[in-house]
Amino acid sequence: MDRQGKEHIQGILSRQIDAVFFDLDGTLINSSKDIAISANYALEKLGFPKLAEEEIVKHIGYGGENLLRNILPVNNENILKEAVKIFREYYFSNPAIYTKPYELIPEILESLKKQGRKIAVITNKYYDISKEILEKLDIFQYIDLLLGGDSVKNKKPNPEPVLKAMEILNVKTPVIIGDSETDVKSGKDAGIKTVLVEYGFGKVDLARSFNPDFIVKNTKELRELLCE
């Protein structure tokens, strides 16, 4: 993150930005191992070979159904439906065995609350499982609004969840922070500032092609960007 960018957004935060919208997986929390274990459980139950965690991680961020659609070795809607059922049952029973907040995330959230910023989490993951994970990790206390993939008709990259969060929280100039092109596009199409984090699961080159307003490499840079 260049110095000019840092000063620019700190100025925006101080004078204009009234809320921060975070993606969940790959932005606030590292959930890759639990998701990969659950996906492999579904594959194995259906008689398919398991995949390496890094292969599954490539498809995180688009919702469980899309993840399984991308990793299943067959194109069959009935098999996909069964895989989704198995995956969800297992994952909902084991949502945060290995999942942890990224370093500095609790500190960043606490600092934002002290600044008086509204905080929303906008994820394509189901609301109930997202809330349970945030509670288990003791960071739900900082969240003013949680929108899951089932909280809206159209998930990210559609701007609907961003616009809905703005309406519910009654904010006009938020910034959205995420690790993938879905976050950047959702924010851009809603007309708000966007921050791409490169430490998550997203395809960095693809996300960069959507021209995020700011890019950070790690949570230390994210803290410098957001915290006064």
Q: How confident is the model over 143-152, as pLDDT tens digits?
A: 999 999 999 9
User: Are residues 196 and 107 located together in one domain of the fold?
Assistant: yes
User: Are residues 76 and 133 located together in one domain of the fold?
Assistant: no
pLDDT at 141: 98
pLDDT at 133: 98
Q: What is the pLDDT of residues 109-161, one digit of tens each?
A: 999 999 999 999 999 999 999 999 999 999 999 999 999 999 999 999 999 99
Q: pTM for the full model?
A: 0.91
Q: In what order do the strands lie in the sheet with 19-22?
A: 145-147, 118-122, 19-22, 174-178, 193-197, 214-216
pLDDT at 2: 46
Number of domains in the chain: 2
Indicate if the alpha-carbon torsion angle 135, 106, 174, 189 is positive or negative: negative
- Domain final residue pick, 75, 93, 111: 93
pLDDT at 228: 72
- Domain final residue pick, 93, 117, 139: 93
pLDDT at 17: 82
Tell me which residues of the chain have a pLDDT lower than 70: 1-16
Domain of 78, in residue numbers: 32-93
CA-closest candidate to residue 145, choices 173, 164, 159: 164
User: Are residues 112 and 156 located together in one domain of the fold?
Assistant: yes
pLDDT at 3: 45
CA-closest candidate to residue 203, choices 48, 12, 57: 57
pLDDT at 8: 56
Q: Please identify every residue annotated as catalytic.
A: 23
Under 8 Å between Cβ of 85 and 45: no
CATH of the domain at 214: 3.40.50.1000
User: Are residues 88 and 107 located together in one domain of the fold?
Assistant: no
